């Protein structure tokens, strides 16, 4: 699937670029990452994983808002980031972090498969992801 198909299937919607929405999503991403770290310290690995994923998801949504899109399905964020990767604007490791993060979140949420090791890896990936997305946003918002 590509961006055009996402728009046709209404997984994505074109909107006016709104920097306030971009910054709101980054704040959500930062907050979710902080909460994931707190949950890890409390040995609540399930919620640590879930919140680390949502940190990446909200950072990804910030990119969509910066490009004039609004997602209707989680997969749309992945597709837009993959498109940026194909354009050479985002390294593919970050699309992999988001994809594996969603798998881990679903495992924790629906199959009760979570551990301290997974939570640590998710937080590490979410930190790298958020840092890189903030760098990307500086180039997208001028």
CATH number at residue 91: 1.20.120.330
State how far the alpha carbon of 18 is from the alpha carbons of 23, 87, 131, in Å. 9, 23, 21
Q: Tens of pLDDT along 21-54?
A: 999 999 999 999 999 999 999 999 999 999 999 9
CB neighbours (10 Å) of residue 99?
15
Q: How many domains does the chain have?
A: 1
Phi then psi for residue 88, to 5 deg, are 80, 15
pLDDT value for 141: 86
Q: Tens of pLDDT along 53-71?
A: 999 999 999 999 999 999 9
pLDDT at 142 over 80: no
Find the domain containing 104 and state its range. Answer: 3-140
d(CA 49, CA 40): 9
Q: Tens of pLDDT along 11-21?
A: 999 999 989 99
């Amino acid at each position: 699937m590509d961006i055009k198909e996402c728009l046709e299937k209404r997984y994505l919607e074109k909107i006016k670029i709104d920097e306030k929405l971009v910054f709101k999503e980054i704040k959500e991403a930062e907050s979710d990452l902080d909460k994931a770290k707190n949950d890890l310290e409390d040995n609540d690995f399930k919620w640590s994983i879930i919140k680390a994923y949502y940190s990446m998801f909200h950072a990804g949504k910030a990119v969509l808002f910066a490009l004039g899109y609004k997602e209707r399905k989680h997969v749309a964020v992945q597709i837009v980031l993959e498109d940026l990767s194909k354009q050479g604007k985002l390294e593919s490791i970050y699309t992999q972090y988001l994809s594996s993060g969603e798998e881990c979140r679903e495992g924790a949420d629906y199959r009760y498969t979570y551990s301290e090791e997974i939570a640590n890896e998710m937080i590490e990936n979410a930190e790298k992801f958020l840092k890189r997305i903030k760098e990307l946003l500086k180039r997208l918002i001028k």
